[in-house]
Chain A
Amino acid sequence: MNHQRSLLVVFLVSILVFLVGVGALAAPFRVAVIMPSSINDMAFSQSMYDTLVAIQNEMGEDNFQFVYSDNMYVVSDAAAAIRDYASQGYDLIIAHGSQYGSSLMEIAPDFPHTSFAWGTTVDTFVDQGINNVFAYEARSEQGGYVNGVLAARLSQTGIMGVIGPIETGDAKLYVEGFKAGVMATNSDAVVNVTWIGSFSDVALASEAAQTHINAGADVLTGTAQMVVGAIGVARQKGVLWFGTQADQTSLAPEIVVGNQIYDWTVVLKSMIDLIKEGTLGGKAYALTLANGGLKITVNDQAIVGQTINDIIEGKIDLNLGEIH
């Protein structure tokens, strides 16, 4: 009797384990993201949102699901959200902003079976004995260099203006890369840089663009979400623009020449694979041109399209005399 009962228990337990196992296999991979600005900011937050949508389209909704909290510019609110998502059992929680680092260092040890990621940074907190945090950054100086080379070729005045938020992180890398690209192409060129001290002051970004144009700049670039104000001014004044972080072409197709786009797919896919294998953190990633995380798009409407249009509409006089 006793023997029979224990057999029954073993049988039931094994069924249970099997069901749980099947359940785990079939359960989708669930990601929660906390972002500092809006998912449609045409910059940093949007780059992550677009990546998550792309991954979901590829893996299917049955295998990959994500939720997000955007506009979490108050760090203490973000910390509450991170803790909340962690206790809800998400597989991966992404704190998409370097300002969330200290919160994550506090929260991650309380949820040792949950994986966290944050950026842009290189610090996974392994030195602090925390093993469930991934780090990611964007080597934005690479695309910055490409944009700089193009900008220097296109500028007629040889003066270029850059609008940055705060002198740190991927913004600083981008600006340094841009300057290096310009200087390598035209060592006589001038690159003027303004830091406006804010990621959200659209009005000041727009006035900075105006100031650059007054100082003779005919090509502008800038990074972070407040640059939409600068793009508005560039469009009005017919000055060329180079974008970074997300594709900003749709804001002003006539003047946005090219963009460096952050595509976090390589990073996130690798994290997902590691988590499925049981590694919850400890690795630092970087988006580069080499690994396809940084993409350069060129908008053929800005110069090529404009020229074609002008010829079609007869604005360009192609009367070159007798040639044939």
Chain B
Amino acid sequence: MIGSILIGILSSGIRLATPYLYASIGETFGQLSGVLNLGVDGIMLMGAYAAFFTVVKTGNLALGLMAAMVTGALLGLLMAFISVTMKAEQGISGIGLYLFGLGMSELLFKKTLGAVQTVNGFPALHIPGLSRIPVLGQIFFQHNLLVYIAFALVPLAWFVLNKTPFGLRLRAVGQNPQAADSLGINVNRMRYGTVILGGLLSGVAGASLSIALLNVFQQNLTNGMGFIAVALVYFGGWRPRGLLIGALLFSMVNALQLWVQVRGINIPSDFALMMPYVITILVLAAMAKRRVHAPAALNVPFERGES
């Protein structure tokens, strides 16, 4: 009994954490280079739509995923152009990008598909052998492909950020762009690259909803997940491990509150619904002593020759 509840909560939490992981890992790269992109939710919506539309029309999941990646990367490029080349205020332009994605995805949805429908998305992939392990197999190894990739990205991002020359240059650009520039690092090209990567991953985050976890598209499908992903970047202290802990904590508590309600445990539903947020705040407060600082040049456009 307790076992089945635990399995349910943990596997639910892993599924729910997936879109947050993609979006927040992408956002971390952008922020470490000095660009705050608040348009993540809008890009997720466009990615979710692009993937869904492609799968409805072709039935090809790989093509759908690619459509989401291309759409996300293009919107990342747009954000980079606005914030890096045009040097616009990043917070405001990010909100603009969000509103654009919210409205455009719905407009396209209405004009091209018209009504809510379902598709056959990425099926659950039972990893041979591992999925047979009692308990652990059920929790970890019976998910769809995009769930596995999201969790595989965490160590990969850690490796790239901490163990490669690229990661070092990236931090330099975000901490002290003038110094990085004088060392011959092309600051703007670096920022373009990371913001486009962030857009691409946000697109995949959207696709993980529309063609893997939910297999539907609806107006405002993400319901603000992109903003929680941005918050997770701060929560996680710009570290992949921190993102993983944050995303899992938030999702597990959400899964737990669903179980509390299903099991008819007699507490008001309003209280159950507050749990993920209350616990997140408590954890943040408990960890407030950590010395984690945002990249020094976050939100600051780069001007050559200034210091």
User: Measuring CB to CB, which residues of chain A are less than 8 angstroms from any residue of chain B?
Assistant: 37-38, 40-42, 71, 161, 167, 192-198, 200-204, 206-208, 210-212, 214-215, 225-226, 228-229, 231-232, 235-236, 250-252
- Complex Cα distance, B220 from A313, in Å, reads 41
Given contacts A231-B118, A251-B116, 14 further A-B pairs with CB under 8 A are A38-B218, A38-B219, A41-B218, A167-B269, A192-B262, A193-B261, A194-B269, A197-B269, A202-B209, A203-B16, A212-B262, A214-B8, A226-B218, A232-B214
**Cβ B118 vs Cβ A235 within 8 A:** yes
Which among B7, B254, B262, B264 has the highest number of chain A CB atoms within 10 Å? Answer: B262
- Complex Cα distance, B220 from A211, in Å, reads 23
**Cβ A42 vs Cβ B116 within 8 A:** yes
Q: How far is the CB of A147 from chain B (nearest CB, A)?
A: 19
Residues of B within 8 A of A250 (CB): 115, 117
Q: How far is the CB of B275 from chain A (nearest CB, A)?
A: 11
- Complex Cα distance, B147 from A211, in Å, reads 18
Which among B15, B254, B258 has the highest number of chain A CB atoms within 10 Å? Answer: B258
Q: How many of chain B's residues have a CB under 8 angstroms from any CB in A?
A: 36
Task: Confirm or deny: B225 has a beta carbon within 8 angstroms of a beta carbon on chain A.
Answer: yes
Given the interface contacts A41-B116, A207-B254, A250-B115, does A194 sit within 8 Å of B220 by beta carbon?
Answer: no
Task: Confirm or deny: B229 has a beta carbon within 8 angstroms of a beta carbon on chain A.
Answer: no
CB-CB contacts of B256-268 with A at 8 A, as 1s and 0s?
Answer: 0011011110000
- 4 nearest A-B residue pairs (beta carbon): A197-B273, A195-B269, A214-B8, A38-B219
- Complex Cα distance, B269 from A225, in Å, reads 19
Q: How far is the CB of A217 from chain B (nearest CB, A)?
A: 8
CB-CB contacts of B99-131 with A at 8 A, as 1s and 0s?
Answer: 000000010001000111110000000000000
Q: How far is the CB of B7 from chain A (nearest CB, A)?
A: 8
Task: Confirm or deny: B270 has a beta carbon within 8 angstroms of a beta carbon on chain A.
Answer: yes
- Complex Cα distance, B134 from A38, in Å, reads 44
**Cβ A37 vs Cβ B219 within 8 A:** yes
**Cβ B117 vs Cβ A207 within 8 A:** no
Given the interface contacts A193-B261, A207-B258, does A42 sit within 8 Å of B115 by beta carbon?
Answer: yes
**Cβ B214 vs Cβ A251 within 8 A:** no
**Cβ A211 vs Cβ B262 within 8 A:** yes
Given the interface contacts A71-B219, A211-B8, does A195 sit within 8 Å of B261 by beta carbon?
Answer: yes
- Complex Cα distance, B106 from A214, in Å, reads 33
Q: How far is the CB of A186 from chain B (nearest CB, A)?
A: 17
Q: How far is the CB of A163 from chain B (nearest CB, A)?
A: 10
Given the interface contacts A40-B115, A40-B116, A201-B223, does A195 sit within 8 Å of B273 by beta carbon?
Answer: yes
Q: How far is the CB of B40 from chain A (nearest CB, A)?
A: 15
